[in-house]
Chains A and B, each alone.
Chain A
Amino acid sequence: MSAPGRTLAAKPTRLRLRVRGAVQGVGFRPYVHGLATRHQLGGFVANDADGVLIEVEGDEVAAFVAALPQQTPPLARIDDIAVEPIAADAGTGFRIAESVSGRVTTRIVPDAATCAACLAELFDPNSRFHLYPFVNCTHCGPRFTIAERLPYDRACTSMKRFPMCEACRSDYEDPAGRRFHAEAISCPRCGPRLSHGLDDIAAALADGRIVAIKGLGGYQLLCDARDERAVQRLRARKQRDGKPFAVMLATADAAIEMAEIDTAERALLEQVARPIVLLRSRQRVAPSIAPGLAKIGVMLPAAPLHHLIFHALEARRAAADPAWALVCTSANPSGEPLLTDNAEALADLADIADLIVTHDRDIVIRADDSVLAVVAGVPRFIRRARGYVPEPIRLTCAMPPILAVGAQLKATVTVTRGDEAFVSQHLGDLDTAAAIRFFEETIAHLTSILDVEPVAIAHDLHPDMASTRFAQAYGLPTLPVQHHHAHAASVMAEHGVTSPALALVLDGHGYGSDAGAWGGELLSCDGAVFQRLGHLAPLKMPGGDRAAREPWRMAASVLHDFGRGDEIGRRFAAQPQSRNILMLLDRADAPVTTSAGRLFDAVAGLLGVTTMQSYEGEAAMKLEALVREPATLERGWTIVDGVLSLRPLLAHLIARNLDAVQAAGLFHGTLSAACVDWIAAASRATGIGTVVLSGGCFLNAHLAEQIMRGCRSAGLDPLLPRRLPPNDGGLSLGQAWVAGLQLNEEHMVSGGTV
């Protein structure tokens, strides 16, 4: 933010202020109006192509400028205020002027949970919004999910088909009110309608039935989270094996009954984004909500409809009963994107939900619920979507507009505009036609709401990913970026690291620059280039992706490595292929991987924690859930020529036959200590002290916390991602960053002009 400067101290004239950031559609102009009026200033405020334009004149302009960033409306984010003195105009009175149209470069803000004022109206019998499921104002409500394009006004949202009634019109036009230019304003007289009454919904839920509702970013499935039979029914109908469900509770106080919550976690739960927060479960919900896991995903109501459902349920609760807890999971046919369309929902959810609650406000772009956890004291993303998209990430330099398309699983795309990077919402796995269409729609929507045309497209080095295929067919110059380089670059981009950095990427699998299967990599990164300093000791990976789904295979690989191949058949007798796998492992040319994820799988398999995964990451999550106290095995690893081997630890785990809890603690502690040792050696060799930590394994809180702590004790500066997930959800930002630096460098070398 630029300081007002000395000119203010001189004879006050008229000031022109340009405010950039998320300042449109969030009640900023009424805020400015109020502030200017309090300071008895003349002038005006208007929206324009850069954000908000203000002119003020009067004795207290300096006080106005100082106060402006102090008490902005809840959804406003100021990036920059530029102040310039101009000729006085001698006008009195302050007005809100018509928007100045022009090229749109401002932004749409994320969806926000119902604000306290709207919530009060929702339950106020005298309010015209009493029990109205679509109440909102400039401080809350849907934004990103209803916006078709810029500028953000009603005609460009899915509210365009609801003409305002007189009362709403008058609120909309009242500069003093919370609903001045609240583009999504509506009331029971003029707005969208719910297909079912709240009593019906509450009755169905209380009866143990499954209810689909149309949420902010897509359809959600609800059922009583305390009712094991209801949860099992939901699992069966959704064809979902063991993947955990999130739970919604009416208030943070109710959530405390279900999970241990510290101050940081409570603040996160109550953020306007209303994410799902992973918390240590008190195991008071139905057992099949998160089988075998220590943590539970908890969220608070995000939309008026959620509040109304809890309100209606409350009437059906006996005083002695525990607080209502609802399973709240995205409604989608197995593996496909979240449903948003009414007709599709009615058709596709008919076999899953007993009651399907729709309404007639369209969801323009789907957004899943975001998932976060507090790790090492800071909120960290597991999945970034509703409530956070499309907030940009500020880059350290401007770059040409780039589209980056991520990888294959947990895909996101990134579009850059100047020095901002816009990372899309979580798009899911690009292996269904519906997901690929969503991926394409998102690219179209994002470039449209940002009003940019990319000049290059960055993609993963893997030749056979849907995103790679898309990039190659797109018709723009392509810039392939190695998977783990992109993981590292993602963290460098969001933290603004411009000097060389070491990167520890502990990941599942990525296509290596040498065509190998990488995934436990120590890199040094400088600008657009990286060097592979080292990697985990390669392990044979029998059966490609099968080995990722079946941890017993990686366990077999370790046993074979220790000359204990004869134990495989006995240890994994339930696996029909365990009799044959030696044929693959005995081959000298069997494919190998340096993946850290597969190492977790191997240990989970050896300990019998998980031999077959029913969802991605299950083995590692269950192993993590067993950890009580991470412990370090002395001399549990070796580092030779940059290659980190945990063979001594694995030998110990196999020979000692420890119980799973002890073994899980020893594995986490030793792996973390080994990684710190590895990084410290690389730091001594290179003189680099900044260490970025990335890759899907850093979702593991023990690993992340231990390595952070270890690096700090070693005098290093470790950085974990804060604004994006460490897994493939953050990849597109890293790709865009590397591609942008490449283009900037080329531009500097060639000396041309953009």
Chain B
Amino acid sequence: LSHGAGGRAMAQLIAGLFHEAFGNEWLARGNDQSAFDVAAGRMVMTTDGYVVSPLFFPGGNIGSLAVHGTVNDIAMAGARPLYLSASFIIEEGFPFSDLKRIADAMGEAAREAGIAIITGDTKVVERGKADGVFISTAGVGVLPEGLDLSADKAKPGDRVLLSGSLGDHGVAIMSRRQNLTFDTEIISDSASLHGLVADMVAAGGDGIRLMRDPTRGGLAATMNEIAQQSNLGFRLQEDAIRVKPAVAAACELLGLDPLHVANEGKLIAVVASEAAAAVLAAMKAHPLGRDAADIGTAVSDDHRFVQMVTSFGGGRIVDWLSGEQLPRIC
């Protein structure tokens, strides 16, 4: 792709590429905006930026990730996602074929999720001003009537449910970035979770206090965020938390704690204890929640500690990190 002169032809080329990939009636109209009907009740809106490196990784690429991430941000409110926008910052010289792969993956992810990318924009910037492609998105969705998930609703005794194994996305990215190859290829878990969420809401309704997707910083960061917002502590059961053997082995090699590694297709729900069994059953019945587990409980704690309880007791603190995992053993 080139930048500057000849921009008009280029812009048309790119627009064509996206129209073809996203293929929907709104884009087909060619307007600078799209109109859509508004459902009754409450809507949710989110926005997100995607700057992943590498752009292509086992299990997806930046395009599918952008759709999944945005859909999940909406879904974590318990909402049904409807429409997305996408804006692309593309570095000059970026191969057209790669852009097409990204756009196709986005289109496919949107179709799978049953949503439409109804407006967008592209800018090509000088070489060195972007790292390949950056994508920024916005999304809107609609909430089921009466549903209002919020961390301050969590209470001591609530259960913590986790939808599956940890670390797949972060390790897939890191392996690709560091050129690591393992006997079993590690594939990102990147996925849209709103279907799973809908089943959970149907099973648990109001019993669901809040949901989060443990993306950057992993389960550790997300649980600490929930602890802060809910003013509660959490006790997690180490042996209930699943990590795939290949992911565990890669983490062991790299010296990473999978609790701190990013996920893109997992969710954590804090659920009233009386609703926990029903919600967990609904999760296990869904393909994206097959490995769901009850991993712990909320407790009252003025320190808002997130603790890991091991098979022989012990209350190891699960801390959030300010950046990468640094050595701490003196």
Q: Spell out A's residues near B (CB within 8 Å).
A: 239, 333-336, 348, 407-410, 431-434, 436-437, 462-466, 469, 483, 507-511, 517, 519, 541-549, 576-577, 580-581, 583-584, 587, 593, 597, 616, 696, 727-728
Tell me, rounded to whole Å, the shortest Cβ–Cβ distance linking A497 to chain B: 23
9 extra A-B contacts, CB within 8 A, seeds A239-B312, A508-B329: A409-B329, A410-B330, A462-B326, A466-B317, A510-B330, A511-B326, A541-B327, A547-B327, A583-B179
Residue interface bits B311-330, CB-to-A below 8 A is 1, else 0 = 01111110101110111111
Residue interface bits B178-216, CB-to-A below 8 A is 1, else 0 = 111110000000000000000000000000000000000
* A residues less than 8 Å from B255 (CB atoms): 542-547
A545:B327 contact, CB within 8 angstroms: yes
Partner pick for A433 among B254, B315, B323, CB 8 A cutoff: B315
Q: Is the interface of B mostly helix, strand, loop or mixed?
A: loop
CA distance A348 to B313 in the complex (A): 10
22 pairs of residues in contact across A and B, judged by CB atoms under 8 Å: A239-B312, A334-B312, A336-B314, A408-B328, A433-B317, A436-B303, A436-B317, A463-B323, A464-B323, A465-B328, A483-B330, A509-B330, A544-B256, A545-B255, A546-B252, A548-B327, A549-B329, A580-B182, A583-B179, A584-B180, A597-B330, A728-B330
A580:B319 contact, CB within 8 angstroms: no
B328:A543 contact, CB within 8 angstroms: no
Tell me, rounded to whole Å, the shortest Cβ–Cβ distance linking B238 to chain A: 13
Partner pick for A334 among B179, B314, B319, B330, CB 8 A cutoff: B314
* B residues less than 8 Å from A548 (CB atoms): 327, 329
Tell me, rounded to whole Å, the shortest Cβ–Cβ distance linking A120 to chain B: 44
A433:B307 contact, CB within 8 angstroms: yes
Partner pick for B319 among A335, A464, A547, CB 8 A cutoff: A464
Residue interface bits B279-305, CB-to-A below 8 A is 1, else 0 = 000000000000000000000000101
A544:B323 contact, CB within 8 angstroms: no
Known contacts A431-B317, A432-B315, A463-B322; A584 and B330 CB within 8 A of each other: no
B316:A432 contact, CB within 8 angstroms: yes
Known contacts A336-B315, A433-B303; A577 and B252 CB within 8 A of each other: yes
Within 8 Å of chain A (Cβ to Cβ): is B253?
yes
Known contacts A433-B307, A583-B178; A544 and B326 CB within 8 A of each other: yes
* A residues less than 8 Å from B303 (CB atoms): 433, 436-437
CA distance A597 to B327 in the complex (A): 13
Partner pick for B322 among A464, A542, A593, A696, CB 8 A cutoff: A464
- Residue ID in chain A nearest B326 by CB atoms: A464
- Residue ID in chain B nearest A434 by CB atoms: B315
B327:A544 contact, CB within 8 angstroms: yes
CA distance A431 to B319 in the complex (A): 9
Total contacting residues, chain B, CB less than 8 A: 30
Of B249, B256, B316, chain A has the most CB atoms within 10 Å of the CB of B316
- Residue ID in chain B nearest A511 by CB atoms: B326
Of A433, A507, A583, chain B has the most CB atoms within 10 Å of the CB of A433
CA distance A407 to B330 in the complex (A): 9
Closest 4 CB pairs of A and B: A543-B255, A544-B255, A546-B255, A508-B330
A583:B307 contact, CB within 8 angstroms: no
CA distance A541 to B329 in the complex (A): 13
* B residues less than 8 Å from A616 (CB atoms): 329
Tell me, rounded to whole Å, the shortest Cβ–Cβ distance linking A617 to chain B: 10
* A residues less than 8 Å from B253 (CB atoms): 542-543, 577, 580-581, 583-584
Of B253, B312, B323, chain A has the most CB atoms within 10 Å of the CB of B253
Partner pick for B328 among A437, A464, A519, A696, CB 8 A cutoff: A464
Tell me, rounded to whole Å, the shortest Cβ–Cβ distance linking B299 to chain A: 10
CA distance A462 to B319 in the complex (A): 14
Tell me, rounded to whole Å, the shortest Cβ–Cβ distance linking A336 to chain B: 7
- Residue ID in chain B nearest A728 by CB atoms: B330
CA distance A508 to B322 in the complex (A): 22
* A residues less than 8 Å from B326 (CB atoms): 462-464, 511, 517, 544
Of B179, B255, B323, B327, chain A has the most CB atoms within 10 Å of the CB of B327
Tell me, rounded to whole Å, the shortest Cβ–Cβ distance linking A546 to chain B: 4
B330:A587 contact, CB within 8 angstroms: no
Tell me, rounded to whole Å, the shortest Cβ–Cβ distance linking A635 to chain B: 31
Tell me, rounded to whole Å, the shortest Cβ–Cβ distance linking B182 to chain A: 7
* B residues less than 8 Å from A483 (CB atoms): 330
B314:A464 contact, CB within 8 angstroms: no
B316:A335 contact, CB within 8 angstroms: yes
* A residues less than 8 Å from B181 (CB atoms): 583
Tell me, rounded to whole Å, the shortest Cβ–Cβ distance linking A437 to chain B: 7
CA distance A577 to B312 in the complex (A): 26
CA distance A510 to B330 in the complex (A): 6
B249:A576 contact, CB within 8 angstroms: yes
Tell me, rounded to whole Å, the shortest Cβ–Cβ distance linking A329 to chain B: 17
- Residue ID in chain A nearest B323 by CB atoms: A463
* A residues less than 8 Å from B329 (CB atoms): 409, 508-509, 545, 548-549, 616
* B residues less than 8 Å from A517 (CB atoms): 326-327
Tell me, rounded to whole Å, the shortest Cβ–Cβ distance linking B54 to chain A: 15
CA distance A469 to B312 in the complex (A): 27
CA distance A509 to B329 in the complex (A): 6
B314:A727 contact, CB within 8 angstroms: no
Tell me, rounded to whole Å, the shortest Cβ–Cβ distance linking B284 to chain A: 31
Known contacts A334-B314, A546-B252, A584-B253; A507 and B330 CB within 8 A of each other: yes
Q: Which of B90-132 contact A (CB under 8 A)?
A: none
CA distance A296 to B178 in the complex (A): 46
Known contacts A436-B303, A584-B254, A587-B178; A408 and B330 CB within 8 A of each other: yes
Q: Which of B156-183 contact A (CB under 8 A)?
A: 178-182
* A residues less than 8 Å from B307 (CB atoms): 432-433
CA distance A508 to B330 in the complex (A): 4
Known contacts A333-B314, A433-B303, A583-B179; A545 and B249 CB within 8 A of each other: no
Tell me, rounded to whole Å, the shortest Cβ–Cβ distance linking A613 to chain B: 10
* A residues less than 8 Å from B327 (CB atoms): 509, 517, 541, 544-545, 547-548, 593
- Residue ID in chain A nearest B181 by CB atoms: A583
